[in-house]
Amino acid sequence: MAFDILRRVAAEDAYAADLLFAELDTGIKKADASLATELTLGVLRWQRLLDFLLERYLKRGCEQLDLEVLLALRLGLYQLRYLDRVPQHAAIDESVELVKRARKSSATGMVNAVLRRATADARIGGDELGKLVPAGNSPEERLGILYSHPTWLVERWVGFFGRERAKALLEANNRPATLTCAVLEEGGSERVAESLRKSGFEVTPGRWLRGTLQISGGNPAASEAYRAGQINFQDEASQMVAHLVDARDSQTILDACAAPGGKTLILARGVGPRGRVVAGDIHEHRLRIIQQQLTRTETENVRLAALDAARPLPFSPGFDRVLVDAPCSGTGTLSRNPEIRWRLKPEDLEVARRCQTAMLRNALAVANKAGRVVYSTCSLEPEENEQVVAEVMTETPEWRVLSSEHAAWTAHLRDAASDEKFFAAGDGFFRTFPPEHGTDGFFAAVLERG
């Protein structure tokens, strides 16, 4: 399963998390589901370092290998290096079998020989691992190899965050992401947690928000709590952004880039049965995903709309709240979506910025006079965050940034009095940073007319 998913990620630009979610909802055993997830995401996270180590035993660069052969080598070396419960001979034999299964039998001898040579120092680490990196490499190139990130991204982050915070970010991106869910029934956390525990899952309270749970020990999408619509999987930072909107009873809200619908569910509960949420997305298949969420959770006060938020919106300026959770580079989610680091290019950020600026501009145009607009991304990059807000604000001086330290959203924190300033700097923007908050990296700006 891991091999097939990795092949689709590489060949079809698919996302590993989506494929795993679909494949693991087929009655697979918990132990097998955990191993498939570990292998798939682990190989993607450590891809650059794995290739660097493999090339010590190859007579050519990894890029010259057939994809199926390279994936089998990565899977074998990952198991040799990072997993304790898989015997070395089993890891090697399975990689050889994968190559045969992929009809690349001519490479079986090479795969077997490379992995057998790699067993001697597969666990090399610390200073010994560092000595393998050529001395002439720049410090950023060195970090990129050892922490398995593109050098250009490391260079950016060292410039923005400083070397120590950047290094902490690289480390956080290589740790498995916490699976957090929002409990959709007010005050139902304990009951839902007990139900999940009875189903064999390990459950602890969320780190920051009331009404959140952290789950491990299998595939909770197969749980009764999920099927019954009691929970929705969503990172705590993503939930915080939805709470920043400050949805209130009977309001009308536009969620302009709504898929996959997690924030929509929170907004719908905020406005109550007398309110209305319009959830938009440009892609019909993503609207179907939202509809599945609405059906599963029996949410009835949401209307779906096929729209391109980068174009003028087909609404009059009557919304009490508008959320633009803009499509972005996703650099705040590299632990959860490790393949992004290998796909993203520097020039993509400027393309995204132009689209995001149009989205925010259009959102402001459909808010009513007392309305509020929240712009957010799961990106750590200034081009997609501060620069977007700054450009649009120069065009619309009647709007101002409202500090994210306002009571409406912090009421959802477990300890609002002490924690609220941890998410906001002096500029009023909301930010989470993976190594410091233990969440995905999000940015948000709350805007209202001054």
The residues assigned a catalytic role are: 378
C-alpha 363/C-alpha 259 separation (Å) is: 17
C-alpha 389/C-alpha 387 separation (Å) is: 5
Beta bridge partners of 303: 278
Residues 6+ apart with CB under 8 A from 77: 50, 53, 54, 115, 118, 122
Beta bridge partners of 402: 446
Do the Cβ atoms of 99 and 72 come closer than 8 Å?
A: yes
Structure tokens at 232: 């929705």
C-alpha 352/C-alpha 356 separation (Å) is: 6
Exposed / middle / buried, residue 84 (Cβ in 10 Å: 0-12, 13-18, 19+)? exposed
C-alpha 24/C-alpha 5 separation (Å) is: 12
From residue 369, alpha-carbon distances to 112, 163, 314, 318 in Å are: 68, 44, 18, 8
Helix 30-45 vs helix 67-82: angle between axes, to the nearest 10 degrees? 110
- The alpha carbon torsion through 51, 57, 61, 63 (nearest 10 deg) reads -50
In this structure, what are the phi and psi dihedrals at residue 417, rounded to the nearest 5 degrees? -60, -35
Do the Cβ atoms of 406 and 430 come closer than 8 Å?
A: no
Residue 434 CA, distance from chain mean position: 11
C-alpha 2/C-alpha 16 separation (Å) is: 9
Do the Cβ atoms of 42 and 78 come closer than 8 Å?
A: yes
C-alpha 50/C-alpha 76 separation (Å) is: 10
C-alpha 40/C-alpha 38 separation (Å) is: 6
Q: Which residues of 35-54 are buried (b: 16+ CB within 10 A; e: fewer)?
A: bbbbbbbbbbbbbbbbbbbb
Do the Cβ atoms of 261 and 279 come closer than 8 Å?
A: yes
Amino acid identity, residue 270? G
